[in-house]
Structure 1
């Protein structure tokens, strides 16, 4: 079976690894000229780890990630707000919660699949669904015909738009932007085996270790319109590391991301084309499940094709399993963060209750 992936991010390459392991003829097309790794770091949860292990990547994944043994929360004056021990999660849930550098993860996946097998500079412009074949046309004038096409091209997916047209994006109810960057772990006064968060009702910032001596910081503030306003919000938090951390982070390394999701559970599979990851289920980052759900898509796609040689049956089985679970997580992710207006619990507590307990059987 010949399968083409439009998108060489985390979801596209991990799913390509899974289908290549089944003996399929797999091609990955990426619009960027080089391997892309939008963002800086990731907190990946046990459900992501189980999926990555299921794709045969356990040793490589464990080598580049940092186990998070605790989730710690503090007020702006340094007063403790919560502590959640997660040191036994690997035993309890089959994989730990980890921090990982996004580019290290992307590189590991690309090297596993074969960097020379990824076709860079291929931006999809149109797709033709022709019964049992699909043709994908690229902006460079080339075309590809396969038995199946997987749209793994992110939140602003061209493949999705070809299938169902434009979708209405929904803005975050709690904050418009998230800011993030990677710096040296030794420059930040935080627990090197924990996610450490300082938060107030107006804004928050967290840090996790991501390996190779690096730390990933990320945060949001209600009502800010730019990076200067974000930095200014924390200027009085002098009993925390945050003012200094922001001052030593090179501004050109700070990523600003507007926050959107899609609140409509549209159909993913049309003919021999389906969607995975952010193309299928864009979600807010407040439950930190976007990337985790993408890896689960990748494993579910592999398992569906492992059970049948009929592409239509496999695509139907994949979507039937994943879409209800993914949209449950989309809705949970809309509740916002700790100390926000919806008074939700810390993210590690929410993960156990809203994701692990309610969706594990479907993962």
Structure 2
């Protein structure tokens, strides 16, 4: 089947939705991205780290140099007590993990998507599936149809809500999916104005060394289950949280007040630390794009087979990512005596070679777009093998044009 015969609708222009759109653009698969926010797309959030699992894709797309330009390699993660006494440190091997501000990454991905592919101000309120495909209705009464619908609209997805409604009506929704989402970490994030390097010289270094302060009995250092209410996330709650944190000691000097005061209020937000983040959504996009490129036809049977293959490819990876995130969250912020003991043992007793082996296994799955020329597999620990598509393609559109313009 020619890829151009397939039509894909993506709901949500976040990092996952943009990555899928970018890949479908290169695969020659027609797609449209519906974004609920009207007007210009605003890149929100603070920082995000990308490890070697996703960097090969950026190299394939001719974007690795730009990714490196907007990021810094992370050399280590150091854990401190509130007294600033060192608990221990974890070597992250700076060539594997890079950290950047989320808006810069968002702008980089957005720069490769043709503007006509994204329609803003489209809040999906309902969907309907039939033999002809899938139909979505938006709150402004507009309607869109496609062969495949992809929900990339976050934790409180309108697409998931509609699917769960239909599954519940058919008595097919598992009990575990009926419970409301619960998160165990609150975060205050923001994008600051440039901070004077005289006061924070560490910020001028070529590498980023992360500092984690394990507070004791502080308002936002105790893990607890929390069910979401929209009233918890307004400007007043952000200001309340910022004020409660102002006097916290900053490992880079002085207190958090200096950083908070340098951050415009409109760039600050209160968020929940999710256990499966944007990096996993980007990896999901690679797997799905590879399968859609090889889709034999738009028949219900072939589409079902494709999504079964997608589930088989990603379910174990998704579960491992959630478990890994939980363990990392407990390592970096747990307050129970068992968590404190495990943190101390992991950082100070476990040999660095064992730590490296654990990290290497986490980086085993480094997928590339099978329909684009593969880039070299870097590193001593080899990636999981992939089969190259028989219908190989070259870079096209904005990716090719901007790649040729880069120095």
Q: Same fold (TM over 0.5)?
A: yes
Q: Which residue of 1 aligns with 2:285?
A: 298
State how far apart, in whole Å, the 2-side matches of 1:355 and 1:141 are: 49
Q: Does 1:70 align with 2:76?
A: yes
The structure 1 segments of at least 4 consecutive aligned residues displaced by more than 4 Å after TM superposition are: 223-227, 344-356
Displacement of 1:304 in angstroms is: 1.6
TM-score (norm 2): 0.67
Between 13-22 and 243-252, report the one with greater CA deviation.
Answer: 243-252
Where 1:221 maps in the other structure, the secondary structure is coil
- 36 and 321 in structure 1: CA distance in 2 versus 1, 3 angstrom threshold: farther
- 318 and 200 in structure 1: CA distance in 2 versus 1, 3 angstrom threshold: same
- Aligned pairs (5 A) from 1:283-362: 283-284=274-275, 290-309=277-296, 310-335=302-327, 336-337=329-330, 338=332, 340=334, 341=336, 342-343=339-340, 345=343, 356-358=360-362, 360-361=364-365
State how far apart, in whole Å, the 2-side matches of 1:87 and 1:331 are: 22
Q: Which residue of 2 aligns with 1:242?
A: 255
2:85 equivalent among 58, 79, 90: 79
Judge conservation of contact 1:66–1:98 (CA < 8 Å) in 2: yes
- 203 and 47 in structure 1: CA distance in 2 versus 1, 3 angstrom threshold: farther
Q: Does 1:168 align with 2:179?
A: yes
Displacement of 1:55 in angstroms is: 5.1
Where 2:13 maps in the other structure, the secondary structure is coil
- Aligned pairs (5 A) from 1:100-179: 100-165=100-165, 167-173=178-184, 175=185, 177-179=186-188
State how far apart, in whole Å, the 1-side matches of 2:54 and 2:187 are: 22
1:257 equivalent among 264, 271, 290: 271
Q: Which residue of 1 aligns with 2:65?
A: 59
Between 183-192 and 25-34, report the one with greater CA deviation.
Answer: 183-192
Query: What do the CA deviations read for 1:285-332 (whole angstroms, capped 9, x no partner)?
Result: xxxx61211111111111222333343332221121112211222233
- 312 and 2 in structure 1: CA distance in 2 versus 1, 3 angstrom threshold: same
**Structure with the bigger percentage of strand:** 1
State how far apart, in whole Å, the 1-side matches of 2:355 and 2:305 are: 32
Judge conservation of contact 1:52–1:299 (CA < 8 Å) in 2: no
2:191 equivalent among 159, 178, 182: 182
Q: Does 1:24 align with 2:17?
A: no
State how far apart, in whole Å, the 1-side matches of 2:356 and 2:126 are: 41
- 46 and 138 in structure 1: CA distance in 2 versus 1, 3 angstrom threshold: same
Displacement of 1:238 in angstroms is: 6.9
- 241 and 53 in structure 1: CA distance in 2 versus 1, 3 angstrom threshold: farther
Give 1 or 2 for the bigger CA radius of gyration: 2
1:196 equivalent among 193, 210, 213: 210
Q: Which residue of 2 aligns with 1:9?
A: 14
State how far apart, in whole Å, the 2-side matches of 1:326 and 1:55 are: 24
Query: What do the CA deviations read for 1:244-282 (whole angstroms, capped 9, x no partner)?
Result: 3234434443211145xxxxxxxxxxxxxxxxxxxxxxx
1:45 equivalent among 22, 47, 51: 51
Structure 1: gaps (5+ residues): 91-95, 205-218, 260-282
Displacement of 1:356 in angstroms is: 4.9
State how far apart, in whole Å, the 1-side matches of 2:12 and 2:355 are: 28
Displacement of 1:24 in angstroms is: 0.8
TM-score (norm 1): 0.74
Displacement of 1:10 in angstroms is: 0.5
